[in-house]
Amino acid sequence: MLVRNARRWAPRGGKRWIIASSSLIIAACLRSLLHPLLGPVMPGTAFMIAAVLVEYYCGLAPAVAVMIAGLCIADYLFVPPYGRLDVIDQSDLRLMVSYPLITIVVVTLVERLRRAQYRAELLASVAQSRYEMLLRHDNERLIARRATDEMHRMLHHIAQHNRSLILIKAVDSSTSAPPGSFAATAATATRNGIIDDELFRAGIAYGGKHSEVHREDLVRVSDRLVPGHHRVRFLSGEEDWRPVDCVCERFATPSGDFLILRADDAT
């Protein structure tokens, strides 16, 4: 895959030109220190090393500038006759051919490798971004699946305990769907089921069993219902009330959180 910005791998700003200038000066100083030892041998080597290092760290333009400046300095200071420009002999020609040739080949190779490296880094960043997006989508999918499972569990619960259902209450009626909508079938199929507008607004739907519950207990559980076991009074005979164990369960569905109270089937 072609990434045209791969050619922009080098750092930006004036700092790289400062580094390039410093490298040139250091190369010139080192070659000057070695000059008594080396004489006219390898006049451009220090500048070639400087140009390659600058290419690796700072990019093509500073490297080319170091190479050209290095060629001029090497020819002027380290090729006999030293410190003169007016004489161009075989030594000058050797330097002008060999030094740029070798430096350009090495700098070009380094430039190509750096571009390939930067391209690989960019593509790796894309791959990493996609992987993280995939993980976030997977997380959303799992959350949705969990919510769907919970909804199925609640609907199954309503259908299974239709006859013993006392009430369904939305934990937060402002953000939840009307609980009566889930119990509609159950309520209409049940003799005493109630779904009216006022209860819809309060987030409560009564099941068929509610008519047998003592009025005080019904008001109590309608107001303050928490998950767990409850004991409420059920009508037994004409005017006799007997305590019955009831179970309240909480369901966190995509349509909101609901509490369902039913008479315990065991009793």
Partner 1 sequence: MKAPTFSTVRSNDHAVLLLHGLSSSPLELRFLARVLADEGFATHTPNISGYSAGTTHSRMEQWVSAAVAEFDALAAQYTHVSLCGLSMGATLCAAVAHERPSARALLLLSVTLNYDGWAIPWYRFLLDYAYYTPIRSRFHYREREPYGLRNEALRAKIARAMQKNGISEVGPASIAMPALHEASRLAHLVRNQLKGISSDCLIIHAIDDETSSPHNARLVEANVGAAFLRTIWLDDSYHMIPSDNEREVVARECALFLRESAASSASSSNAMPVVSRALARRLRQLATIAGK
Give the pair of three-digit tokens for residue 18. Answer: 């400062």
CB of 264 to partner 1, least distance (A): 32
CB of 30 to partner 1, least distance (A): 32
User: Mask: binding to partner 1, 70-109, rule CB under 8 A, as x and -?
Assistant: ----------------------------------------
Closest residue by Cα to residue 155 from 184, 135, 132, 130: 184
User: Mask: binding to partner 1, 116-155, rule CB under 8 A, as x and -?
Assistant: ------xx-xx-xx-xxx-xx-xx--xx--x---------
203-221 burial: b if 16+ Cβ within 10 Å, else e: bbbbbbbbebbeeebbeeb
Residues 195-254 that bind partner 1 (CB under 8 A): none
CB of 16 to partner 1, least distance (A): 12
By beta-carbon proximity to partner 1, the closer residue of 102 and 147 is 147
Q: How many CB atoms lie within 10 A of CB 264?
A: 14
- Binder among 12, 191, 215, 224 for partner 1 (CB under 8 A): 12
By beta-carbon proximity to partner 1, the closer residue of 3 and 102 is 3
Residues 244-263 that bind partner 1 (CB under 8 A): none
By beta-carbon proximity to partner 1, the closer residue of 88 and 126 is 126
CB of 263 to partner 1, least distance (A): 33
State the Cα–Cα distance between residues 51 and 114, nearest whole angstrom. 15
Where are the alpha helices (H) located in the chain, listed in sequence order?
15-38, 45-58, 60-77, 90-160, 179-189, 197-202, 215-223
Element housing 250 (H / E): strand 240-253
By beta-carbon proximity to partner 1, the closer residue of 1 and 266 is 1
State the Cα–Cα distance between residues 193 and 163, nearest whole angstrom. 10
By beta-carbon proximity to partner 1, the closer residue of 113 and 143 is 143
CB of 47 to partner 1, least distance (A): 25
Residues in the interface with partner 1 (CB under 8 A) total 24
By beta-carbon proximity to partner 1, the closer residue of 6 and 261 is 6
Please report how many Cα atoms fall inside a 13 Å half-sphere around the Cα of residue 154, on the Cβ side: 27
234 neighbors 244 (Cβ within 8 angstroms): yes
Burial class of residue 20 (count of CB atoms within 10 Å of its CB; 0-12, 13-18, 19+): buried
Residue 141, amino acid: R
Q: Which positions lie near partner 1, rule CB under 8 A?
A: 1, 3-5, 7-8, 11-12, 122-123, 125-126, 128-129, 131-133, 135-136, 138-139, 142-143, 146
